[in-house]
Amino acid sequence: MMPDLQQVGQAQTQQWAPEVSAPVVLLENVSKTYGKIHALSEITLALSGGVTGILGMNGAGKSTLFNLLMGKLKPSSGSIKLFGTDPWKNPAPYARIGFVPEHEKMHDWMTAHGFVSLFARLNGLTREEAKVEAERVLEFVGLTDVAHKQIGRYSKGMRQRVKIAHALVNDPELIVLDEPLQGCDPLARTTIMNVIRELGKMGRTVLVSSHILHEIERITEQIVILHNGRLLALGNLHAIREKMDNIPHTISIGCENPKKLAKDIINNDAVFGISFPSGDNLQIQTHNLNEVHKELPSLIVDNNHKVSSIDNPDDDLGSILAYLTGGLG
């Protein structure tokens, strides 16, 4: 579906290699304070490869983290390394980085092609190389048809895609997207998510921030959760969920006769609660998801239940965040 992200116009300034052993993003004890307000405190993080979702509510420090990564802010303490280089007052690492800011304002008077090729030139391409490069990335985000229209006439989703396109010039290794899905309609969302997933598959390191949980879930399983400037969780979404096994899980089963199924399933020790949200649905509450899942298939088959669906409705980021932050308020 996606065109090949093959480098066409390779700039000279690109011809340097990052420190091989260094992770793409490395934060060590990074704090950022504004007076008494701690926007970020003691963040230690190393990321390389794949799509990582940065989750946190408004004010959790996502944007501060990105601004630190992009050298717009100076860390109050700790060190930040991108490809092994400190980005503050040093734009060199940005040759390998694409950044999609969250701000909506753009140069509305420019065409998408003009906009992208401008930033391609800032990446060190010459005018002609930049043109070719702009066409390539605009095709990648699916804007070739409208590339020569003014950005001011674009819809929000198209604008977001232009921003992503501008970040993709020169084939960056690290792509940082700050709230890329904000304010987009479902169609634009899907397109952008596909683009991000595609980038992940290509082996790029992608950081996506969001406070909308379902979005990230649809893009990636690797997450970083920030709350009040602190690192709350890090790793695979499901793994994190599994670790919290003292917290009840809910399994939702759609079936013809929920009451009968409930009768059979209540005997399992792991199940401690059952409810019937509707006539053809059953919810099981358990401490041990694995055990229930292990037993459930045999139970269904043995008792000849007609089951239409089995879901874990709160095995999503929302419940994880809620549980994790519940104590912190």
Partner 1 sequence: MMVPPKKDNVFRALDRKLGAVAEFTMRQYRTKLSTWVVLGVGFIAIAIVVLFYVDSMQQEIEAIDNDGDSADWDGDGYPTGQERIYGTDPDNPNSHPGTFTPPIAPDPPEKWINEDDFDWDLSATGDTTTGYDDDGDCRLADTTQSQKDRNRNNIYCDIALDYSEIRGEWAEPRSDGFVDEDPDEEKYGKEAIHRAFLLAIGKMGFVFLLGIFLPLFLATGLIREEMENSTMHFMLAKPIARRDIFLGRIVGYLGVVWPYIIAMGIIVGLISGFAGPGDGLFRFSDLGMWMAIIFATMLATLVYGMLFCALGTLWKRGIVLALPFAAWELGMAILSFNAPSASILRFSVIGWSLNIIDAASLIIWPNLELFINMGLWGGGYSSNYWGSELAGADALSAFASNTGLGISPVATIVVSTIVLLFQALVLWIVGSAVFKGKEIE
Partner 2 sequence: MNEGEPITPPQIPQSQPIPQPIVTTPQQPIPNVTQPIQSVEPATTPMATAETPVTGQTRMEAAWGSSEGDEDYTEMASVGHSGSGEIFQQNYEPWRGELNPRWMRNWAILRHHVLGIVKKGHRPWGVPTKIFLVLVFFASLSDAGLTLLASLIGESEFHSMWGVNRDNLYGHVLGFFPRNVMYYPIVAALLVGGVISEDRNHGTSALYFSRPINRFDYVGMKYASVAIIQAVIIIFTLFLYYLTEIMAFGRGWAWIIDTFPLFLGALVGGVLLIITYTSIGLALSSVSKGKFFPGIGLLAIILGTKTLAIIVKNLFDREILYLLSPYDCLAHVGQALVKTQPTYDQYSWTWSLASLIVMNAISLYVLSSRVSSMEVTRE
| Distance of alpha carbon 259 from alpha carbon 246, whole angstroms | 26
Site residues for partner 1, 115-134, by CB under 8 A, read: 118-119, 121-127, 130
Residue 193: count other Cβ atoms within 10 Å of its Cβ. Answer: 20
Q: How far is the CB of 125 from partner 2 (least distance, A)?
A: 32
Q: Assess 259 for contact with partner 2 (CB under 8 A).
A: yes
Q: Assess 18 for contact with partner 1 (CB under 8 A).
A: yes
Q: Assess 79 for contact with partner 1 (CB under 8 A).
A: no
Contact 113, 135 (CB under 8 A): yes
Q: Which stretch binds partner 2 (CB under 8 A): 144-152, 169-177, 193-201, 270-278?
A: 270-278
| Nearer to partner 1 among residue 125 and residue 192 (C-beta) | 125
- String of b and e for 209-221 (b: at least 16 CB within 10 Å)? bbbebebbbebbb
Contact 31, 38 (CB under 8 A): yes
Q: Assess 307 for contact with partner 2 (CB under 8 A).
A: no
Q: Assess 314 for contact with partner 2 (CB under 8 A).
A: yes
Sole binder of partner 2 in the list 156, 263, 294, 306 (CB under 8 A):
263
Q: Assess 154 for contact with partner 1 (CB under 8 A).
A: no
| Distance of alpha carbon 142 from alpha carbon 2, whole angstroms | 9
Q: Tokens 């793994």 sit at which residue?
A: 239
Q: How far is the CB of 24 from partner 1 (least distance, A)?
A: 13
CA 54 to each of CA 24, 33, 179, 299, 321: distance values in angstroms, whole numbers, following the listed order: 16, 20, 10, 39, 12
Sole binder of partner 2 in the list 57, 187, 239, 301 (CB under 8 A):
57
Sole binder of partner 1 in the list 55, 95, 151, 232 (CB under 8 A):
95
Q: What are phi and psi of 219, to 5 degrees?
A: -95, -45
DSSP state of 4: P
Give the interface with partner 2 as residue ranges (CB under 8 A): 57-58, 185-186, 211-214, 247-248, 250, 252, 259, 262-263, 266, 272-278, 281, 283, 285, 287, 311, 313-314, 316, 318-319, 321-323, 325-326
